[in-house]
């Protein structure tokens, strides 16, 4: 389905990004695995992608740094000469309340989570020009729900979602589809840290969803893969929520064990 | 004290805003009162400064400042001999 396509997934050494990289590879896409801090994990994802019979390329880049974004796209440009799919998944942030946030934490979060989406898209579009493409960014319920210690990330995700709408319209004439997938808690290493409000030991109040279990990385990856398919051609600038119904039932966020 | 250690100290003091005097070989990151963002920014700054890579898989093993300096010095030496 995606055979011959070239996909970049930022932050794909582990968690949701890794699941997306594997899903796109399973569908035949060559995958560029971007990572920032976990080299061994990224190499493992690349190995697993290659075992699906496609090409994998690992590129280290802190997407919070515009120079590093340029270097990454220079490598993509010289290695592949084109890009068909760009998945903006990399994210970072510190669990803090609004009054405890300093400019360093705010800027760090905004740069990696929101600004990178704009800057990477600007470069990605040049590699999609004339052929169209698919761009999907990953958000969370924290863009509009108030979650403990999540303010900077929540605001950055709200920026991502707004940017999705603007980009979808601006890029529509180029045949480029832009959408967002927003998930509730996905119990990855990072997800669990935020679910505990930044505490290492406390248990998470997120135990399940109305659908009977938490959202898995693969649930997010499946929707991303659909948005990258031609069947999703007429979906533009939308925020697709993958939460097992959680956001429709506020009580489900408060009850332990659902 | 090596030039590498001096640079590491400069970088930590600049980013974490701790006293340079506390950076002894046995000092822990808790002693520096560095949060996880401080530490990532120190690692990234040193990667750029020395042109080396310090992945989290390795950084998580550092017990104290001494381990950290030894690791960076080894990476810098490897790079020099490559």
Cβ–Cβ below 8 Å for A40 and B57 = yes
**Residue from B30, B55, B57, B75 whose CB has the most chain A CBs within 10 Å, to mutate:** B55
Which residue among B35, B48, B56, B58 is the active-site one? B35
Non-local CB neighbours of B19 within 8 Å, separated by 6+ positions: B13
The pLDDT, as a whole number, for residue A202 is 60
Global pTM value: 0.93
What is the set of domains in chain A, with CATH numbers? 6-254 (3.40.50.720)
Rg (CA), chain A: 17
Q: Quote the CA–CA distance of A138 and A46 in Å, as a whole number.
A: 21
Q: Copy the structure tokens of residue B12.
A: 């930590």
The residues of A that are catalytic are 150, 157
CA dist., res. A75 & res. A85, Å (int) = 16
* Regions of chain B where pLDDT drops below 50: none
| Paired tokens of A181 | 């997938």
The predicted pLDDT at position B36 comes to 86
- pLDDT number for residue A258: 39
Taking an 8 Å cut-off on Cβ atoms, the answer to whether A38 and B37 are in contact is no
Contacts of B38 (CB under 8 A, 6+ apart): B15, B16, B32
Q: Does A193 touch chain B (CB under 8 A)?
A: no
Tokens representing residue A28 in the block: 């035949």
- Specify whether the CB–CB gap between A174 and A230 falls below 8 A: no
Does domain B3-77 correspond to CATH entry 1.10.1200.10? yes
Q: Which ipTM value was assigned to this complex? A: 0.87
Task: List residues bridging with A30 in a β-sheet.
Answer: A6
Let me know if B35 is a catalytic residue: yes
pLDDT of residue B35: 87
Q: Cβ atoms within 10 A of the Cβ of B74, count?
A: 12
- pLDDT at res. B33: 87
CB contact under 8 A, B57 and A108: no
Angle between helical axes of A116-128 and A151-171 (0-180°, round to 10): 30
Query: In which residue ranges of chain A is pLDDT below 70?
Result: 194, 196-205, 250-258
């Amino acid at each position: 389905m995606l055979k011959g396509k070239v996909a970049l997934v930022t932050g794909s050494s582990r968690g949701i990004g890794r699941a997306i990289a594997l899903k796109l590879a399973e569908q035949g896409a060559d995958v560029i695995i971007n990572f920032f801090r976990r080299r061994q994990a990224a190499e493992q994802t690349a190995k697993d992608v290659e075992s699906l019979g496609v090409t994998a390329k690992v590129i280290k880049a802190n997407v919070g740094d515009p120079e590093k974004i340029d270097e990454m796209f220079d490598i993509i440009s010289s290695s592949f000469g084109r890009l068909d799919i760009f998945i903006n998944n990399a994210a970072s942030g510190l669990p803090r309340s609004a009054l405890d946030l300093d400019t360093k934490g705010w800027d760090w979060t905004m740069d990696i989570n929101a600004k990178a989406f704009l800057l990477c898209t600007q470069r990605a579009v040049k590699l999609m020009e004339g052929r169209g493409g698919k761009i999907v960014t990953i958000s969370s319920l924290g863009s509009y729900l108030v979650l403990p210690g999540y303010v900077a990330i929540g605001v950055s995700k709200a920026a991502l979602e707004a940017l999705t709408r603007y980009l979808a319209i601006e890029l529509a004439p180029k045949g480029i589809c832009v959408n967002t997938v927003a998930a509730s808690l996905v119990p990855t290493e990072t997800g669990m840290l935020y679910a505990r409000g930044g505490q290492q030991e406390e248990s998470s109040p997120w135990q399940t969803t109305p659908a009977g279990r938490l959202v898995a990385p693969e649930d997010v990856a499946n929707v991303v893969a659909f948005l990258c398919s031609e069947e999703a051609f007429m979906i533009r600038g939308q925020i697709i929520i993958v939460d097992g119904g959680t956001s429709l039932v506020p009580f489900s966020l408060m009850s332990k064990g659902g | 004290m090596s030039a590498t250690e001096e640079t590491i100290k400069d970088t930590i003091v600049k980013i974490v805003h701790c006293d340079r005097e506390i950076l002894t070989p046995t000092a822990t990151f808790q002693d520096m009162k560095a949060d996880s963002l401080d530490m990532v920014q120190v690692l990234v700054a040193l990667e750029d400064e020395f042109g080396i890579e310090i992945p989290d898989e390795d950084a998580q093993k550092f017990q104290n400042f001494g381990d950290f300096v030894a690791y960076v010095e080894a990476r810098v030496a490897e790079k020099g001999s490559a």
